[in-house]
Chain A
Amino acid sequence: MISLAGDRDDASGVLHDKDSVRGTAKVKRGFAHMLKNGVVMDVTTIEQANIAEEAGAVSVMVLDKLPSDVRAAGGVARSASASVIRDIMDSVTIPVMAKCRIGHVYEARVLSEINVDMIDESEVLTPADESHHIWKWDYTTPFVNGARSLAEALRRIEEGAAMIRTKGEPGTGNVAEAITHIKRVNDEIRRAKSILDSGDKQDLMRLARDFRVSYDILYQTARLGRLPVVNFAAGGVATPADAAYLMSLGCDGIFVGSGIFKSDDAKNRARAVVLATTFWDRPAKVREAQEMIDEQQSMLGLDTTKLDLRMQERGADA
């Protein structure tokens, strides 16, 4: 089982009250465990948040613009308005997440003060500091980060991320990049595991140095045979079949961005994506879900080989 222990002694996000303690790795990572086998939906309004909750989403992610609109609009993409986030928090019972820019310590502080349930340090927004991600151990609110390789995922976890989402290419309606990255992470975990099984600890240390991560976290990952925190897939999910396929590759759940509210049948599609995520292992159910949507209503989507802006590369080298 994934260990929920792993607090740093110097984590200032851990708060000791009279007879209880908050912000521990156990409650932060544990929160992500409660989302497993679920769908987190990007929303920009109360109406969309209500549709998501009624469809069975486990959480909503509040943005100022959906990723495909961010891509179309250009300019600088920042956190959503505090008032919009608060209004949505007051309208749904499920957890509410919001995005901050990569490295933007104070956008994150503000989101934490607004009291969102989880902060996404996200490449969908314009990075504030691509070479320094936020030191997330100093927050009581848990964080999720994107990654497109095992090395990137483990670096984020060592900075305090309580959850990982493998990156796709956001706002494209094209699931290809998400598939590539989850397979890459899986391949790299298999490689680490086979080195561990061979008993060659020096080689595992070499891989840790290549990855720029500690030996301990790579060892823990290799032993588990999976990422040591909950891992969702994200980026370009547009249909129930997209979601089911990503689940079959070993993801713990799904983030859907533009795919739902940029389609013309959002209500049905939201429900269908939830059904396909829950029952991904039963193709007859996925077919049922797929029949709830109309391909004519899917967002048009983009060819990911011809993009001017590749959001997935933001912050990836840090």
Chain B
Amino acid sequence: MSVTVGVLSVQGDVYENVVASHEALNEMNISGDVIPVKTPSAISDVDVMIIPGGESTTIGLLTLAGDTLATLGERIRGGMPTLGVCAGLILLAGDVTDRMLGGTGQPLLKVLDIKLERNSFGRQRDSFETTLSLEPLGIADFPGVFIRAPSITAVSPDIDVISVYDNRIVAVRRDNIIGTSFHPELSGSTELHKYLIRMATK
């Protein structure tokens, strides 16, 4: 059993996700590789995909520029285990507004039928750390790092809510897709990365 983890490396905290994925593979004693990917052909070669944190408008514009977004959408619809973190969650969503500005009109993958509000907790001064429960994934205490984070304001019936903080949905799952408002790659915990890799081994 060998798993290749791809991290979309257009913009954002790619390296942190590469490190967290390597640690997860080591801790699980699974052989495999972690590669930063930014072209459609590279995306075709991975078993698991992580869309990292960053600026969703930038990542969206730049992946669209190279047809990468379309290939990524096909693979995800085809069942590839995928984790979208913060900006990555925004790109997975179907409907995005900004807390202050309303509709954003940005390019999206639309693979999760959720409504999402950007900068939901406020600006950077309101970024925070807290402890979350991801009980539906069997993870009791998870360090939540929220940076200008979005929150999920509505979900369709096929979406599982994984975590709620301050009455706001901050993590969801549908089949092979997990999306979080917070940054597991900055948390010091590899539990979510391990969960994602485990999905590829089943």
Interface residues of A (CB under 8 A from B): 1, 4, 17, 19-24, 26-28, 30-31, 33-38, 53, 56-59, 89-95, 112, 115-118, 140-142, 274-275, 278-279
**B129:A26 contact, CB within 8 angstroms:** yes
Contact surface of B with A, Cβ cutoff 8 Å: 9-16, 19, 38, 53-55, 57-58, 61-62, 65, 86-87, 98, 100-101, 104, 118-119, 122-131, 145-148, 183, 186
> In angstroms, how far is the closest chain B Cβ from the Cβ of A162?
10
Known: A19-B131, A30-B147. A275 touches B13 (CB 8 A): no
> Quick check: A278 and B10 within 8 Å, CB to CB?
yes
Neighbouring A residues of B87 by C-beta, 8 Å: 34
CB-CB under 8 A from B53, the residues of chain A are 33-34
Partner of B62, one of A20, A59, A278: A278
Partner of B11, one of A21, A37, A116: A37
Residues of B within 8 A of A19 (CB): 130-131
Q: A21-B128, A89-B100 are in contact. List 15 more A-B contacts (CB 8 A).
A: A22-B126, A26-B129, A26-B145, A31-B148, A34-B53, A34-B147, A35-B55, A37-B11, A38-B54, A93-B101, A94-B55, A95-B123, A95-B148, A117-B148, A274-B58
User: In whole angstroms, how far apart are the Cα atoms of A95 and B9 in the complex?
Assistant: 20
Name 6 interchain pairs, CB-CB below 8 A, sorted by A: A22-B128, A27-B127, A30-B13, A31-B124, A34-B12, A141-B125
Report yes or no: B186 in contact with A4, Cβ–Cβ below 8 A. yes
Tell me the complex Cα distance, A53–B87, Å. Answer: 15
Query: A253 CB to closest chain B CB, in angstroms?
Result: 9
List of A residues within 8 angstroms of B124 by Cβ: 27, 31, 95, 116-118, 141-142
A92 to B125 CA separation, bound complex (whole angstroms): 17
Whether B125 and A115, one on each chain, are in contact in the complex, defined by CB atoms closer than 8 angstroms, is yes
Chain B residue nearest to A92 (CB atoms) is B101
Q: Which of chain B's residues has its CB closest to A285's CB?
A: B66
CB <8 Å contact, B54 and A1: no
- Bound-complex Cα distance A93 to B106 (A): 11
Select the residue from A1, A21, A279 with max chain B CB neighbours within 10 A: A1
Residue of chain A at shortest CB distance from B23: A1
Minimum distance in angstroms from A1 CB to a CB of chain B: 5
Contacts of B131 in A (CB 8 A): 19
* Across-interface contacts of A91 in B (CB, < 8 A): 101
Chain B residues with Cβ below 8 Å from A95 are 55, 123-124, 148
Do A56 and B125 have beta carbons less than 8 Å apart?
Answer: no
Q: Among A27, A115, A142, which residue has its beta carbon within 8 angstroms of that of B129?
A: A27
Query: Is A20 a contact partner of B58 (Cβ separation < 8 A)?
Result: no
A30 touches B186 (CB 8 A): yes
The answer to whether A33 and B125 touch (CB under 8 A), given A58-B54, A58-B58, is no
Residues from chain B with a CB closer than 8 A to the CB of A115 are 122-123, 125
Q: Which residues of A contact B15 (CB under 8 A)?
A: 1, 36
Residues from chain B with Cβ under 8 Å of A33 in the complex:
12-13, 16, 53, 186
